[in-house]
Amino acid sequence: MITRLAAQLLAGPKATTVLEVLDRCVAVQSQELRAGHLGVRARSTGLTVADVDAALADRSAIVTWVNRGTLHLVRSEDYPWLHTLTTPQLATANATRLHQEGVSPAQADSALPVIRRVLSDGPATRTQLRDALQRKGIPVAGQAVVHLLLKATLAGICVRGPMAGREQAFVLVDDWLGPQQTIGRAKALSELGTRYLAGHGPSTDRDLAKWAGIGLRDARAALEGLSPPTYDAAMPGPTLLGPWDELLLGWESRADVLQGSTSVVTVNGIFKPIALVRGRAVATWTVSTGALEPFAPLSATVTKALAKEWADVQRFLAR
């Protein structure tokens, strides 16, 4: 377990910048941006949420739909090859969801130039984009607008960039990141395999396939001839991990971490925040209050250590 924790920057030396975290983890799940924030906190030292905001503002990091069709915080320089490998297979599911939300194929196609036109004037929030689409008679009720923005993202038109108050704005890829080079599939797979192992080794082809949302054949090609790096680290102290943490999402099985608590931690597709002791989940916790819900009684020493962790969460998230 210590090897996995060290690969994830949860044991041993911590990162000192947001980009160091993203370099190691490749992608940090951020379907709630707060989840991405807390993923960075647990793997770094001396940072705050303002540092994440700054990376989004200076264009060195973005949030976009990759890997299983879920929003992830990634380095901007990793966007081209991650987009190449992990988004084409999402198009069919996206079209299905748009149909379910009452958006015809013609309406979905007509949404793309509207989104591009709005973003050509600079970053825009989802509300601003929704209003522009609605004025053109394109359905936006329910989850329609989300899946229209996903369609635009899959088309390489937009990603999520800087914060606009408490909301993250969308930006045009070409304007925000510059013209994108075409990345060959073999080169992209090689980069994926090397980087994935650095932050997730030891792992298997099935682990990579599940994490990245790619086929098993591609996962095997990505890992061919590679061995995970080794890290020297001692077991860390008690740690609070945020919702949808990469320690639970980076491998095919979560049994080593959850030890029979899967049904408590993962409920209807929601991955709750967990408290980690010696690499094992011992409780869930509430981000807004720090309240713990232990799976079994915790020692006074562990409880005190987790209280210090909660204080650090508050420090990190303070704006």
> Does residue 300 surpass a pLDDT of 90?
yes
- Is residue 273 a contact partner of residue 242, using CB atoms and an 8 Å limit? yes
Mean pLDDT in residue range 169-175: 97
Q: What's the burial of 73, exposed, middle or buried (CB within 10 Å: 0-12/13-18/19+)?
A: buried
- Is residue 275 a contact partner of residue 239, using CB atoms and an 8 Å limit? yes
How far is residue 264's CA from residue 12's CA, in Å, rounded to a whole number? 29
Identify the bridge partners of residue 167 per DSSP, sorted by sequence position: 164
Where residue 199 falls among pLDDT bands split at 50, 70, 90? very high
* 218-261 per-position pLDDT tens digit: 999 999 999 999 999 999 999 999 999 999 999 999 999 999 89
- Domains in the chain: boundaries: 2-177, 239-317
Q: Work out whether the CA dihedral 59, 64, 67, 72 comes out positive or negative.
A: positive
How far is residue 222's CA from residue 227's CA, in Å, rounded to a whole number? 11
Where residue 319 falls among pLDDT bands split at 50, 70, 90? confident
> Does residue 182 surpass a pLDDT of 90?
no
How far is residue 100's CA from residue 94's CA, in Å, rounded to a whole number? 10
Mean pLDDT in residue range 147-174: 97
Where residue 193 falls among pLDDT bands split at 50, 70, 90? very high
> Does residue 304 surpass a pLDDT of 90?
yes
Mean pLDDT in residue range 194-214: 97
Mean pLDDT in residue range 21-37: 96
Tell me: cis bond preceding 139? Omega within 30 of 0 counts: no
Least confident of 18-22, 177-181, 280-284: 177-181
pTM confidence score? 0.96
**DSSP assignment, residue 6?**
H
